[in-house]
A and B are shown apart, each in its own frame.
Chain A
Amino acid sequence: MNPSLKLLLLLLISIEVSFTDRLTANVILAVILLGLLVSQRLKWRQLLWALCLPLIPGVAVMITLGAYSGHNWFLAWVMLSRFYVYVLAGSTLIFTTTNLELVRSLEQNAHLSSKFAYGTLAALNIFPTIRRSVSRIQVAGQMRGVTLHWWSPTLYFKAILAALRWSDQLAQAMEMHGFREGKARTAAETIIIRKRDWLILFVSLVILQGLLIAFP
């Protein structure tokens, strides 16, 4: 499916789920999304991560709603199922589309400004380097007789300083590779929206309404 439309669909699902409280519909949605994720042959660790992530905030909210304020256990289950729908929708997007595909599609199909699109992409691509750098700063500290714990402000101050410098360097580097804000660009890979993509979007939306109306 076209990445921009996929993003739109998943956003619409999340919004609709936020404004309705249908437990069965949420569960069915979560199961469908989970099915999609499983069909992507993820590593079991990634899948487990996607399943455990909503559990902590979900259960916390559930206990608050169910045991303390109002003793509404139905609403509590709805909240938990909502968390699952959000996280699974996000995971579906992340694991079925690469960052580059999404950015290219948003630039070509949704006409997102290229500055925003590629600026974000550059930041995402630099992220592993930043992470490595933070752990390097820790090692560098130990080699100089300074212990920087993960809560040490110095560590984050250094990381922020590094990130600021990098943002400046990246802007210059993008310019030296021919990028100019607002200038027209061509595309190495043309991404089109096919009839099939629209069809999937509309059919999915109709099914979504059906689910939300038909099930409690």
Chain B
Amino acid sequence: MTIQIHQLSFAYPNQPAILHQLNLNIPDNSFTLLSGPTGCGKTTLLKLIAGLLPKYGGHVTHGKLTIDGHPRIAMLFQDPAMQFTMDTARHELEFTLENLQTPHEQIASQVDHILSKVHLSSIADQPLTTLSGGQLQAVALATTLAMNAKIILLDEPFTNIDETSRNFLLATLKAEQSRRHLTVVISDHDLHGYQKYIQQIVEFSSQRVKMLTPLQSQAKLKQADDQASIHLEVTIPSGHNPAFQLSNTQLHRGQHLILDQSQLFIPRNEVTLITGPSGCGKSTFLNALSKQLPYTGRISYLQKNIKKLSPGKYFRQVGLLFQHTDDQFINITVKEEIMLSQKHGHSTFFTNQRINEVIDDFRLRNLADRVVYSLSGGQKKLLQILVMLIMGQAVLLMDEPFNGLDHQIQRKLLKLIKVSQKQSPQTLLIVSHQPEQFQEIVQHHLKMTDHHLIYQED
């Protein structure tokens, strides 16, 4: 079942080639990590292996891709919300097993078995539309395992998942891989936590791919693990000058209690990080702060009850970076998106000259006329962050802002935020599962446990 790729080139019509004369062999019964900069073609490669491309668009312009013996292939997509036919996890698993012509008598027991294996039994019958991004990714992984495939391809499967669940799911995946001699390929920007499991890293750089030696791979994974264990230097805010203030606030998602907070201050013009297990309600909290969800009790922004502020006025002050990137865009092309923020932005930091510098620095010049939806997952995320930073609201709520971005871009963005904070300070509230990424800019750390948000100390 070796995957053999020989001189493969692939392009979408009227666009430069995404893959150019690629050579790669992925051996049978292996666990491979695909790493590389944002927009280099990782997703395209996975979809080619899965047989979805060129079926759903584009052309192989040169070379070929062969997989011995036509094995069954399963793939998990980047966007967790867009991969389900049915309304609940249980129904989706039933649908999958029906497709595989599993005998009627075995379906119910197999579904239960898979659900308990990935610890999803408790949310199996909840509507998928009420689950968090991380929970959806876990359901998608369960369905991928249910496919009983020989080759499993996972495209950024853990971006919204907390550390504990990530480790657990990785261990489950590895056990399955060893037991059934599967070929597993994972694409991920965040290389931490893989040391125990991965045999080899395939690295993309400037349209070339290289299989790293086991020694090189281990060194890279170890470096990622060291970085991930960096300690956050944070303090408990004083409570003076709060941007937001919560009193006796209760928040629900469907029937479930998410937050029950008697008192909370979020400091103005400082950077606060929110962490907590997947599905605990971090995004729900940001949605409540941005007036998109009902709650009981009081949330005030600069001493004013936000229920009494008109949306038009409020959103001039408070911006939200959506977890689901596509929702953020109003225009069609990259240039139009940036120009819109330039026109309406409030930031004194992002002058026209600085915006031009940023466009060059992040190499967006070549992408200027591209339709935003045709960008890669990471490129979209980058554009989304930039247009919201250029808007320069007094408050920016950021929901998993660095998902799908490579290390270099993350560092550049942090630098940009740091400089911008100095010149025109904003209140930043960042939700993330990877606190170490924001270590440079974070001043306070709120942890969400048992329906409470509590400030952490060093």
Residues of A within 8 A of B (CB): 99-100, 118, 121-122, 125, 128-129, 132-133, 135-137, 139-148, 154, 158, 161-162, 165-166, 168-180, 183-190
Contact: A100 with B290, CB < 8 Å?
Answer: no
- Confirm or deny: B261 has a beta carbon within 8 angstroms of a beta carbon on chain A: no
Asked, given contacts A144-B344, A186-B101, whether A176 binds B74 with beta carbons under 8 Å apart, the answer is yes
Q: How many residues of B contact A (CB 8 A)?
A: 62
- Confirm or deny: B96 has a beta carbon within 8 angstroms of a beta carbon on chain A: yes
Contact: A188 with B329, CB < 8 Å?
Answer: no
- Confirm or deny: B436 has a beta carbon within 8 angstroms of a beta carbon on chain A: no
Q: Which of A136, A178, A189 has the most CB of B within 10 A?
A: A178
Asked, given contacts A125-B87, A176-B50, whether A144 binds B341 with beta carbons under 8 Å apart, the answer is yes
Contact: B387 with A144, CB < 8 Å?
Answer: yes
Complex Cα gap A2–B292 (Å): 41
Contacts of A145 in B (CB 8 A): 316, 340, 343-344, 391
Contacts of A158 in B (CB 8 A): 329-330
Contacts of A132 in B (CB 8 A): 129
Complex Cα gap A216–B222 (Å): 86
- Confirm or deny: B319 has a beta carbon within 8 angstroms of a beta carbon on chain A: yes
Closest Cβ neighbor of B77 among chain A residues: A173
- Confirm or deny: B164 has a beta carbon within 8 angstroms of a beta carbon on chain A: no
Contact: A176 with B292, CB < 8 Å?
Answer: no
Contacts of A139 in B (CB 8 A): 290, 292, 311, 315, 320
Complex Cα gap A178–B147 (Å): 7
Closest Cβ neighbor of B56 among chain A residues: A172
Complex Cα gap A173–B81 (Å): 11
Contacts of B56 in A (CB 8 A): 168, 171-172
Contact: A166 with B101, CB < 8 Å?
Answer: no
Asked, given contacts A172-B56, A186-B104, whether A143 binds B315 with beta carbons under 8 Å apart, the answer is yes
13 further A-B pairs in the complex, CB-CB below 8 A; given A144-B340, A145-B344, A162-B326: A122-B84, A125-B128, A136-B327, A143-B318, A143-B319, A143-B320, A144-B387, A146-B344, A165-B373, A168-B56, A172-B47, A176-B76, A186-B107
- What is the minimal beta-carbon distance from B74 to any residue of chain A, in angstroms? 6
Complex Cα gap A100–B326 (Å): 29
Q: Which of A129, A135, A188, A190 has the most CB of B within 10 A?
A: A188
Contacts of A148 in B (CB 8 A): 330
From B83, B97, B320, B373, contact of A173 by CB (8 A): B83
